[in-house]
Amino acid sequence: MRIILAVIFFSGFNTAVTCQNFTAAAVLGLNASQINGDFLAGYDKLGLTAGLKVVSSMKEKLDISVELLWSQRGSRDGPFTNTHRKIHLDYAEIPVMIIFKDWLVRDYYKIWFESGLSYGRLVRNKITYIDVETLADTFNSNDISFLVGATFFANSNWGWSLRFTSSINPLLNNKDPGNQNFSRLRGYFLTFRSVLFF
């Protein structure tokens, strides 16, 4: 699986670098995340997402992009509960996306539809959830996710994105963590962000 991800990433990166028509952007936004299987419902865990994006034009309406992001995820109790359970996860993330563009206005497309795969490397976890704290060392260092989203552009340089990301592999590396209630934790999140092209 790591070999496949490496091929996907470097193929996308090579296309972006060697193609004569490529652009770069800065991205900044907010993740609203939760974890399936942790008994904490709702997209209540907010976290930062920020980084850089390179886009290479393949055809008139078809692009490929590679991103390098810092992404904060996890889960937590809702605002109207008396407990303070939280799972905080920091990732370095590399999404590779195919982009379809539509709604041409003068010299730019107002809407981009995106879909692809992402590789995330767990940098840090911080857990204040007594039932999960003992499993902190069993969190998988590698995260493989699929994602879909759309970006609406106000002008040729600046836009707003909505994205949904879901992990493919479980969060815990240990198939038998000792507590079967948490044996198949899987993360997913919504991202709201701004994109600014240089």
Which amino acid is it at 191? T
- Strand, helix or coil for residue 18: helix
Q: For a pLDDT cut of 90, what percent of the chain falls above it?
A: 71
pLDDT, mean of residues 182-190 = 88
Using an 8 Å Cβ cutoff, are 127 and 136 in contact? yes
CATH: 3.30.9.100, 3.90.950.20, 2.40.50.180, 2.40.160.20. Which one for 2-197?
Answer: 2.40.160.20
CA distances from residue 120 to 73, 79, 149 in whole angstroms, order as listed: 11, 28, 18
pLDDT, mean of residues 38-45 = 92
Question: Please, which residues bridge with residue 132 across strands?
Answer: none
Return the structure tokens found at 73.
Answer: 């995820």
Q: How many C-beta atoms lie closer than 10 Å to residue 164's C-beta? A: 14
* CA 117 – CA 144 distance, rounded (Å): 7
Which residue ranges make up each domain of the chain?
2-197
CA distances from residue 5 to 22, 23, 73, 120, 146 in whole angstroms, order as listed: 22, 23, 21, 11, 12
Which pLDDT belongs to residue 61? 96
- pLDDT of residue 159 exceeding 80: yes
> Which of 134 and 122 is assigned the larger pLDDT?
122
Which pLDDT belongs to residue 2? 58
> Which of 84 and 144 is assigned the larger pLDDT?
144
- pLDDT of residue 3 exceeding 70: no
Return the structure tokens found at 21.
Answer: 């028509």
* CA 44 – CA 77 distance, rounded (Å): 7
Tell me the torsion sign for CA atoms 77, 83, 84, 87.
negative
Give the predicted TM-score (pTM) of the model. Answer: 0.88
Q: Which uninterrupted H or E stretch holds 44?
A: none
How much of the chain is in helix, strand and coil states, percent to nearest 5? Answer: 15, 60, 25
Which pLDDT belongs to residue 27? 98
